[in-house]
Amino acid sequence: MYYPQSWSRTVIRFSVYLGGSLIVGIYLDNIALAILLAFGALLASNYVHLYRLTKWLWQSRTMSPPSAPGIWHHIYEGIYHLQRRNRNKRKNLGELVKRFREGSEALPDAVVVIDRNARIVWCNRNARIELGLRWPDDNGRRIDNLIRHPKFIEYLEGSDFQYPIEIPAPTNPLKTFEYRIMQYGEDQLLLIVRDVSRVSHLEEMRKDFVANVSHELKTPLTVINGYLEVLDSSYGEAPPIVSKAISEMGTQTHRMQSLIEDLLILSRIESSAERIFENTVDMQAMFKQISIEAEALNKEKQHHISFNVDSELVVYGVETELRSACSNLIFNAIHYTPQHGKIEVVWKSRANGAYFAVIDNGDGIEDKHLRRLTERFYRVDKARSRKTGGSGLGLSIVKHVLHHHNSTLEIESKVGKGSEFSFLLPQELIKQHDGA
Ligand code: ADP
């Protein structure tokens, strides 16, 4: 404990000491010598205490300070107090670290703490088992020297940790691990690795199942459709009920065929490994082709369709996928806009990318539906969609195509006014002109 009066006591004690030596000096008739001796003794005594203090600080194993008189007692007490405070802090910190480590050890995931130079600071038991890290041998080693998958290295160097990545496990290629990196503390990163083999296996099975079933259904439907066409032409004079049945069966098989086509497109896009940077897409030619198809579809509704296309704007991407996305949005506008509507298709360059939009003045969509529109088989008005022959997969296909092209579908709609479906392909996908 610090006593402020200890200094005044020291000053009093020093004054008494000085006074005593003065009296001795007067008595011996040599004041200078007496004061010199008094200061010499004081200095020697302080040196002895300094020596004891240094010895206690550096050599003694005991925490409790040696006894000392006067101000030295307070210095010892002060240092002792500081030491105790630090020891308690260290203990609390140690407890905290211990609890954090115990918590991380209990996690079912592999956890690795790395510094900003990608050097391992700490890892839990699961990281040693699943990632093959050795502790403490790998302490301070670069994580990218131990997990050498190119996708992981790219992820680590990219410093965009918004989404996790999935790659085969380093210790067992049959397992799939999800790697997620998070900022941790000031300049550390937390790598969390989770075994997602089961989930990705189930996802694979689901995709394969849908693709296989759709493929298997194609052949019988083609056969049925073939026979229906034969029946339709051979029974021209059949009773009305028969020709109605044949025509209805024909319509329904066509619907099923287009549903299967869409399911196959969707599963192809979902599992597409095609690189979007490999080929450029001639968007102008693509829009020309789509406009011919749109005109054919527009015969009944007689909309005014305008294409406002920037012919210079060429992008990298997968042509079949972009064609599918754009045509789905354009054909939807034709289907869901009442007769003699106005539809505008825009393809132009913007400061932050290539912009595509389909704007119609149709009935619009209520807010509550907008969020769910891109779900598979979600329809605002089921009966109406069936009438248009829609499979309910169109916007889902668009969503997947755009995800593959690092973009998202934006939908703005006002009931009674119309809708705008748009997306922005990122700047990196725009092909720069030679010399630009
Ligand atoms: P569908 O095959 O039924 O057209 P989509 O996934 O393409 O399926 O569209 C989902 C639903 O979104 C449609 O059923 C329709 O209700 C609504 N929709 C899509 N485009 C438009 C549009 N331009 N105007 C109004 N509603 C639309």
pLDDT in tens, 51-61: 999 988 888 88
User: Is the pLDDT reported for residue 41 higher than 90?
Assistant: yes
CB 346 within 8 A of CB 353: no
Across 349-364, average pLDDT: 95
CA distances (Å), 11 to each of 3, 19, 70, 247, 406, in order?
Answer: 14, 12, 10, 117, 79
Q: Closest by alpha carbon to 363, among 388, 397, 392, 399?
A: 388
User: What spacing in Å lies between the alpha carbon of 376 and ligand 1's midpoint?
Assistant: 11
Structure tokens at 380: 């605002």
Between the two ends of the chain, the Cα-to-Cα distance in Å is 76
Q: Which atom of ligand 1 is nearest to the CA of 363?
A: 25
Residues 113-167: tens digit of each pLDDT:
999 889 999 999 899 988 889 988 999 999 999 998 999 999 998 877 888 899 9
User: What spacing in Å lies between the alpha carbon of 330 and ligand 1's midpoint?
Assistant: 11
- Ligand 1 pocket check for 317: Cβ under 6 Å: no
Whole-prediction pTM value? 0.63
Q: Which of 368, 395, 397, 414 to mutate to test the pocket of ligand 1 (most atoms within 8 A of CB)?
A: 395
Using pLDDT thresholds of 50, 70 and 90, give the confidence band for residue 1: low
Residues 372-406: tens digit of each pLDDT:
999 998 988 877 666 777 788 999 999 999 999 99
- Ligand 1 pocket check for 394: Cβ under 6 Å: yes
Distance CA 148, CA 146 (A): 6
Q: Which residues contact 283 (CB under 8 A, 6 or more apart)?
A: 309, 313, 314, 315, 322, 347
CB 333 within 8 A of CB 360: yes
Q: What is the pLDDT of residue 435?
A: 46
Q: Which residues contact 110 (CB under 8 A, 6 or more apart)?
A: 123, 124, 126, 127, 129, 130, 131, 191, 192, 193, 194
- Ligand 1 pocket check for 381: Cβ under 6 Å: yes
Q: What is the pLDDT of residue 3?
A: 64
